[in-house]
A = this chain, B = another copy of it.
Amino acid sequence: MSASAATPALVALDWGTTSLRAYLLAADGVALDTRASSAGIMKLPAGGFDQAFEETCGAWLDAHANLPVIAAGMVGSAQGWVEAPYVETPANADALVAGIVQVKTARGLAVHVVPGVLERGVLPNVMRGEETQIFGALASEPSLGAAGGALIGLPGTHAKWAFVADERIERFYTFMTGETFSALRDHTILGRTMHPAPTHDEQAFLRGVDTARDAGHPGVLATIFSTRTLGLTGQLSAEQQSDYLSGLLIGHELRGLSEVLARENATLAGKTLRLIGNDALCDHYRAALERFGCHDAATVAHATEQGLYGIAALAGLVAAKRAA
């Protein structure tokens, strides 16, 4: 690494509802340092943005004054530091750059807040933060943004699946899979017969995926009850029930996506797929996707930093990275 590459060039923030992750990036986009904080936007007192920013990034800025700062995520929502109104699908990186809104910190620096993306329609969809990760994936693997397109999955509390083509986010879906799982486990009868499992039970998980995938049942509101009845009939142990329910819900998510594709005469197996997110969760999705015939759904590493860096470069905040 050259000396200039190791010089800090950008402070990049992934600032969501429940956490703040900060990156000190070099001129080549590589992270020199990172900080993780629980100062998500829903956890801050009124006016708490400046203090959380200082606590997380102050030392970097003391050492390297006047670094440009970019941020993505719920920090740009109506409940955030400053509202960066949604840009609409189809959205490319230029549209995101054009939608950046600045907020001045107590220190006098401008934080450049990336807007989220809105898809209008009968079932509107919104994302904040994922758009930046998606462009990070396109930066690290440019063929994903080609005309043929790709399907990028971002598992989590609110899982997103985005159709990208021609360097744009064409459209996307939101599945409340993670949050529904937690609500069912912690606040319905299904949790009462569950015992915590020491490790992920792959067999129980895939049984759930297969049950959701296979035809014959009347939908997720009905299949979830089998978490309990398979226990009552001695076919699922208390330790297996949580992974079975997780597999069921992820299976229903993928089945729903399959049905949408089928209406376009496409299949999950025929698509170029990539995953972005927590490694363990992406592993579970990859195992579930195998049951739908997808064997090449790699996880994109460093999508968040890459996305923040790429948008900052396009906005002229840092010099664009050159090919090695």
Contacts and interface: CB of A to CB of B under 8 A. Distances in A.
Contacts of A126: 229, 232
Interface string A242-255: 00000001001101
Contacts of A279: none
A123 interface: yes
Interface stretch (A4-12, A195-203, A257-265, A304-312): A257-265
B221 A252 contact: yes
B218 A219 contact: no
Interface residues of A, number: 50
Nearest to A186: B187
Contacts of A118: 233
A136 to B, nearest CB: 23
Contacts of A233: 118, 120, 124
B123 A221 contact: no
A189 to B, nearest CB: 7
Contact of A219 (B125, B189, B217, B259): B259
Given A180-B184, A180-B188, A219-B253, A226 B124 contact: yes
A175 interface: yes
Contact of A123 (B122, B125, B190, B222): B222
A125 B225 contact: yes
Interface centre among A182, A186, A219, by most chain B C-beta atoms within 10 angstroms, is A219
A20 to B, nearest CB: 19
B255 A125 contact: no
Contacts of A215: 263
A306 B189 CA distance: 29
Interface in A247-286: 249, 252-253, 255-257, 259-260, 263
A177 B221 contact: yes
A184 B224 CA distance: 14
A33 interface: no
A296 interface: no
Contacts of A222: 123, 173-176, 253, 256
8 contacts: A123-B217, A123-B225, A124-B230, A125-B229, A126-B232, A173-B222, A218-B253, A219-B259
Given A124-B229, A124-B235, A219-B253, 13 more contacts: A122-B211, A122-B216, A123-B229, A125-B225, A173-B218, A176-B221, A179-B189, A180-B180, A180-B188, A183-B183, A221-B249, A221-B252, A221-B256
